[in-house]
Chain A
Amino acid sequence: MVMDSPINLDNLDAIIGYNPELRTELFQLFISATHDSLSALKKSWQDHDDVLWAKETHALKGLCLNLGAETLAALCAHAQNQTRAPRDTKEQILISLEQQVANVQEALALIMQQP
């Protein structure tokens, strides 16, 4: 694992053991879940819905921690702490989250392409 990778799969691999099939399935489920979470977060921002914001940032953080997406998990924790922040602050957080989610998805796609 290179130092600047957005994911660290050591813990996940320790949990599931050598199981490429399950690993790929988990990656796909993670990608789907992040897609849903980002959509929900955008909606919460548009609707001024702080409850949904807190719920989704927390849920996404949990997924990231279990996968090993540590940077994204930290960003989610920050986002969760900023639940009552002004809209422009949360908009910037959303942009950062989208970028980091893209980084993680790209890293996962690369791993899934490996034989």
Chain B
Amino acid sequence: MKMIEHNNLVALDNVMNEVEQDQSISWGMARVKKNYLRPITDQAFIVAMTPFFQETDLAHIFFIDKKRVFLIWKNPQKPISKPLRAFIGATLLTPETKIHASDIVSVIDAGTHHDRIKAGLKKGLHAFDALFDEIEEAPPEHEDTPYDDSLDDGLSGSIALTATPAQTDYYHQLCKEKRYRKQLSMLVVEDKIFSQKLLCDVLRSIRIHNNNETPLVDVTDGIQEAWKIYLKKAPDIIFVDLGLSDGSGHTLTRAMKELDPGAHIIIVTAHNYEEELSVAKRNNVDGFIGKPYNKKQIFDCIQRYLNALKSSKDYGHGFPHQS
């Protein structure tokens, strides 16, 4: 891997010319708003980014001004926008920063949008920033049932794990549809990106026999966001860590079970204290997995859920198998 640093917009234009001539290879491009990052020197930024670019053939870093850093990387194998977001979020955000990683890095396919990027460059930095805002890759999102945003009323601000009557009705309607879902819906509530990534990878490797579909997995790091997703999607299975960014997983599981005693909740934690176990039992959680876990433990949890669902009529899912 070769990493080259530049410090002006002309260099960025030159590299885009190179992109133009090599259209057979995937190019990615990202903008980092440097003022959201830890106090960091240009060299430290390169050192921090180097591990990420290890598998790329070539990476350019452009320090355009004090606020912006642009990255261009050449990778013949895969788009790496999502891991890049996660990496920057984990490595460079200040601990106090409340802004999500998606707010500090915009990632675009430099090959697909080449002409627009070139045109934007000619108009200057302001237009270039606007271009990123416009064509940034949207994160994938899936919802089977349309959600009325007005249902979010009352959920902003401080942690309020309550539901309005409309939210409750909506949630219970989704629960009735669970058995007809083509894909299992899962929610991972975990505040460390490493642990998020590991568990999500396990869950997404599972196939359901009947339709060979992978589960849909949502992931979040905090109680409040988890509560919103819970109300919006009524996940089939919820995996909850106990130490979360904005409080204890016990608080979340208690609220979830109060709204729906049938919610299937698995605690995943490094805690092994009897006290924690007894709290989890009092909250009627459906499973308790200690770290380190193995694939079979996760698999068994899903199978138990499917067995319970199978006992209800009009059963829609099959049994899972590992891919």
Interface residue count on the A side (C-beta < 8 Å): 32
- Which residue in chain A gives the minimum CB-CB distance to B202? A15
B269 / chain A contacts, CB cutoff of 8 Å: 62
- Flag whether B83 is at the interface (Cβ < 8 A): yes
Among B78, B87, B292, point to the contact of A65 (Cβ < 8 A).
B292
A24 CA / B77 CA spacing, docked (Å): 15
| B195-A62 in contact (CB<8A) | yes
With A15-B295, A55-B243 in contact, do A62 and B54 touch (Cβ < 8 Å)?
A: no
Mark interface residues in B279-305 (1 if CB within 8 Å of A CB, else 0).
000000000000111110000000000
Q: Please, how many residues of chain B have a CB less than 8 angstroms from a CB on the other chain?
A: 31
**In the complex, which residues of chain A have a beta carbon less than 8 angstroms from the beta carbon of B271?**
58
Give the docked Cα–Cα distance between A11 and B292 (Å).
8
Across the interface, which residues of A come within 8 angstroms of B295, CB to CB? 14-15
Interface 9-residue window, one of B57-65, B171-179, B186-194, B250-258: B186-194
Task: Kindly identify which residue among B191, B193, B195 contacts A66, using a CB–CB cutoff of 8 Å.
Answer: B195
A25 interface residue per 8 A CB criterion: yes
Contact between chains at A29 and B270 (CB < 8 Å):
no
* Contact yes or no, B270 A62, CB < 8 A: yes
A28 to B198 alpha-carbon distance, docked (Å): 13
Which residues of A22-49 are within 8 A (CB) of B?
22, 24-26, 28-33, 35-36, 39-40
Known A-B contacts A11-B292, A11-B294, A55-B243; the reply to A33 vs B192 at CB < 8 A is: yes
Check if B90 is an interface residue, CB within 8 A of chain A: yes
Which residues of the other chain, A, contact B139 by a CB distance below 8 angstroms? none
Structural contact, A36 and B202, CB atoms closer than 8 A: no
CB of A65 within 8 A of CB of B91, answer no
For the complex, is A94 an interface residue (Cβ under 8 Å from B)? no
> CA of A36 to CA of B38 in the docked complex: distance in angstroms?
12
The answer to whether B292 and A36 have CB atoms under 8 Å apart is no
CB atoms of A33 and B193 under 8 A apart? yes
Q: Which of A36, A39, A40, A66 contacts B90 (CB 8 A)?
A: A36
Contact: A58 with B243, CB < 8 Å? yes
Distance of A52 from chain B, by nearest CB (Å): 11
Contact (Cβ within 8 A) A29 B291: no
**Across the interface, do B294 and A26 meet the contact criterion of CB distance under 8 Å?**
no
Decide: B55 and A16 in contact? CB cutoff 8 A.
no
Distance in angstroms between the alpha carbons of A112 and B53 in the assembled complex: 12
Interface residues of chain B, those whose CB is within 8 Å of chain A, are 51-52, 54-55, 78, 83, 86-87, 90-91, 95, 191-195, 197-198, 201-202, 205, 241, 243, 269-271, 291-295
Q: List 27 A-B contacts (CB under 8 A).
A: A14-B294, A15-B202, A15-B293, A16-B198, A21-B55, A26-B198, A28-B87, A29-B86, A29-B197, A30-B194, A32-B87, A32-B193, A33-B192, A35-B91, A36-B95, A58-B270, A58-B271, A59-B243, A59-B270, A61-B291, A62-B241, A62-B291, A63-B192, A65-B292, A66-B198, A66-B292, A112-B54
The 7 closest A-B CB pairs, nearest first, are: A62-B270, A32-B90, A29-B194, A65-B291, A65-B292, A32-B91, A28-B51
